[in-house]
Chains A and B, each alone.
Chain A
């Protein structure tokens, strides 16, 4: 059962999973944050693609345009993009502080240092 109309969503899911894999498998904190960013953009893409109407145009009223894409997902995703950059700034600030404290941004090295402190 292959519906070409769903192909869009499936490719977006693959993109999303690329981001999730980076977050799980990579030990470098900046790499993890980049992965999180890819995941966020994919989610935004998913919402925007749900709002698309075939034959529609961008939701700006004008002479001679009748069919518009759905403006509601666009609005919600605008908010999401700006919130994403706020969280990104905070995450990067945490990375800089971790670098100052532990002198590394690799997850396993931080774990080793923590374990060494306790033992």
Chain B
């Protein structure tokens, strides 16, 4: 079953999602995205995922918002008003069909919180019962993250390293703009 707290949080989340679509002020949209992350962190706490909740609050609401604001400061903070009806219509059609297919896919799923669902009977019982003795720390999420599935974390750090190298390559070398280079080579003709 689903309790009233879920409903309230979900209503807020959907309202923020729609507001982000409608708003043209990018600064407001970024702030709303931060609030979206914070509210979803609350929802994760309600769903017993406290580790996910504080990571989402720190990383999703903190660092992501910071990066977005830094980007806004060097680009523009206003979205150009577009009247591209065709793109909006295509989006609406794609979203309707994808959403319908996804909801159809949930119809034979076990209902929310069902203790008999198959997901709770494969690996989880072993982690829940044995990890406090085997690893020696009470938090089972930490045990699984750092020990049983340590390779996942290793892969994650590789992804972060790759992203960091990518960002540094994009910024470190002072690449002369292709457009400006053409202007320098052929003055007066313009680049069209």
Contact = CB atoms under 8 A, between A and B. Distances in A.
Interface of A: 3-11, 13-22, 24-28, 30-31, 33-35, 37-38, 41, 44-45, 48-62, 67-79, 81-90, 92-97, 99-102, 105-106, 108-109, 116-117, 119
26 contacts: A5-B111, A5-B113, A6-B106, A7-B112, A8-B6, A9-B106, A10-B103, A13-B99, A17-B102, A18-B17, A20-B94, A20-B98, A21-B95, A24-B87, A25-B88, A50-B117, A54-B114, A57-B48, A59-B140, A61-B139, A70-B119, A74-B49, A75-B149, A78-B52, A93-B170, A106-B80
B4 interface: no
Interface of B: 1-2, 6, 10, 13-14, 17-18, 20-21, 26, 29-30, 33, 36-37, 40, 43-44, 47-52, 55-56, 59-60, 63-64, 67-68, 70-72, 74-76, 79-80, 82, 84, 87-88, 90-92, 94-96, 98-99, 102-103, 106-107, 109-115, 117, 119-120, 123-124, 127-128, 132, 138-141, 144-145, 149, 152-153, 155-156, 159-160, 162-164, 166-167, 170-171, 177-179, 191-192
A60 B53 CA distance: 14
A86 B38 CA distance: 19
A52 B92 contact: no
Contact of B74 (A19, A37, A96): A96
Contact of A24 (B40, B48, B94, B117): B94
Q: Chain A at the B interface: mostly helix, strand, loop or mixed?
A: helix
B145 A22 contact: no
B30 A34 contact: yes
A15 B14 CA distance: 6
B141 A53 contact: no
Contacts, number: 292
B116 to A, nearest CB: 10
A80 B124 CA distance: 19
B60 A41 contact: yes
A26 to B, nearest CB: 7
Given A6-B109, A9-B106, A79 B52 contact: no
A96 B120 contact: no
